[in-house]
Amino acid sequence: MTALARRLRNVTSSRPWRLAFVGLALLLLASPLASGAAIPPLEEIGAHSRSHDSSDLVDLHFSLVTIDVGNRLWDNFGHTALRMRDDGSGADILFNWGGFDASDGMLRFALRFFRGELDYRLFTVPTEQAFAAYRREQRTIREDRINLSDAAKSRLYQRLLWNLEVRNRAYRYDYFLDNCTTRVRDYLDEALEGRLRDRFTGTSQSTYRQVIWSHYASIAPVAMLLDIGMNGNIDRVMSEWQSLFLPSSLRRELLRVDSDVVQGGQQLPLLSDSRIVAQFAPPATQWNGYPVFVLLLAALLFALLLTTRKERYSRFLDISGQPRRSLSPGGYRVLGVLALVGALTSGTLGCLMLGSWFWSGHEDLHRNANLLLFWPTDLLGLAFAMRLILRKSPWPLNRYGAPYVHYYLLAHLCGIAVHAIIGLTGLASQNTANVLLWLTPAMTLIITLIWLRGFRRIDNGIVL
């Protein structure tokens, strides 16, 4: 009996080590959340001795379980788990690194995630129970047997046993660098003594932004918000190793890797005996949020054109006395709705990006070039928009208030111009193509219309 087995035997009062391992794993469900822990090398783990008697693991088998994307926000990258089946004891457990504690409410959970302080944890459940839950969510489940030598199997088992300890269950979650899939990837690489990392040393053809956009295609508003709110960090091209943070990518690439097991004179693939446990249609791709938003603005602009009328109306720097186009009362109400949409969109996005820069722990949300386009102070325009809607007339300005409005709108247009120059010339590493194509013209037009039609002169003051 190995030293590892003797330790487990003592803890469980002479029960077989396999049953002790299963019992320890199942107890995770009832255990409190622990603090995050780094992953030390196996050589530095002092709590367990390395097992050299591989005969103890002859009945132990591991499988890669890949769950397709779901309909919920946190399901859209898919999921990876590790199945452990012991033919000797009949144990069948799914190791899942995707658990999180939301017992104190979703608001606090979202705040912890926003600050980059969210801990995920390892939890275990009987495999069939987990499969039943994914079937209820109508998510496709794929399983692949992992072919490991006895030595590699022993190393993987040692790592899982270390991870089951209370102080090691939780880890600081990072959606790209440390998630449920990277945990399985790293543990398999460790079991194979670095062969996986050595296999994936090139660069991929995709950026993180492209991956985010494609995986949130079924939740169009979220895809659009992330595209606007994340900076140039996500525009770097991923290495092959980094690209394996996605469950589908990890499975696809591991299917091409050879194992360290030779059977019948031939080297086995790392993954074999692939099967589909359950199959469902993937979430449907939704409309692109950008053109939908622009179509909404276009409808308002069309309504605005229908409400214009000719009248003699003195405008800023206009001394010609020629008939100009002005708006009917209904037209000012439409202009107010247009200003309301613009101010609410720009101000809210600006507040989110500025707040993320100062208070979020995710560096992907800092230093966003789109802050040149979306200003938090635009929320002040809600008062202006509501007056246009309710009073159906332009906002009166005297000689004292007019310059402030004049320079604010001018500065806004200058900010839009700088944003466009940066985006078109590549001065910033951030990809702003969608914003430039869809939102920059819309914002420019809204500000110009407000400047030209939203104000009137009083007391012989300046007219904007």
Report pLDDT for 4: 35
Strands 92-100 and 203-207: unpaired
Q: Which amino acid, one-letter code, is at 2?
A: T
- Residue 307: pLDDT over 90: no
Of 317, 450, 311, the C-alpha closest to 387 is 450
Inter-residue contact 395 to 388 (CB < 8 Å) = yes
C-alpha dihedral sign at 293, 441, 230, 140: positive
Inter-residue contact 93 to 125 (CB < 8 Å) = yes
The residue-averaged pLDDT of 264-287 equals 94
More confident residue, 54 or 196: 196
Report pLDDT for 306: 86
* Cα–Cα dist 240/63, whole Å: 22
Ranges of H-type helices in 167-316: 180-191, 195-199, 208-215, 220-229, 247-254, 289-305
C-alpha dihedral sign at 200, 203, 209, 214: negative
Inter-residue contact 338 to 446 (CB < 8 Å) = yes
Please report which confidence band the pLDDT of residue 265 belongs to, taking 50, 70 and 90 as the band edges.
Answer: confident
Q: What is the mean pLDDT of the chain?
A: 85
Lowest-pLDDT range of 176-180, 238-242, 308-312, 343-347: 308-312
Q: State both tokens at 410.
A: 């001018």
The residue-averaged pLDDT of 440-462 equals 85
Per the DSSP assignment, residues forming a β-bridge with 86 are 60
- Residue 248: pLDDT over 50: yes
Report pLDDT for 42: 66
Lowest-pLDDT range of 102-111, 254-263, 350-359, 394-403: 102-111
Considering only the C-alpha atoms of the chain, give the largest distance between any 2 of them, rounded to a whole number of Å.
103
Please report which confidence band the pLDDT of residue 400 belongs to, taking 50, 70 and 90 as the band edges.
Answer: confident
Q: State both tokens at 196.
A: 């996986």
Report pLDDT for 461: 45
Report pLDDT for 53: 47
Lowest-pLDDT range of 50-64, 351-365, 367-381: 50-64
Inter-residue contact 464 to 455 (CB < 8 Å) = yes
Q: Which residues of 129-142 are buried (b: 16+ CB within 10 A; e: fewer)?
A: ebbeebeeeebbbb
Q: State both tokens at 346.
A: 């720009």
- What percent of the chain has a predicted confidence (pLDDT) above 70? 84
Please report which confidence band the pLDDT of residue 293 belongs to, taking 50, 70 and 90 as the band edges.
Answer: very high
The residue-averaged pLDDT of 120-137 equals 95
Per the DSSP assignment, residues forming a β-bridge with 353 are none
- Residue 27: pLDDT over 50: no
The residue-averaged pLDDT of 444-462 equals 83
Inter-residue contact 351 to 382 (CB < 8 Å) = no
- Chain centroid to Cα 95, Å, comes to 23
* Cα–Cα dist 75/293, whole Å: 25
Q: State both tokens at 343.
A: 């101010």
Per the DSSP assignment, residues forming a β-bridge with 142 are 66, 276
Report pLDDT for 38: 59
More confident residue, 24 or 132: 132
- Residue 232: pLDDT over 50: yes
CA distances from 315 to 28, 280, 319, 447 (A): 72, 62, 8, 17
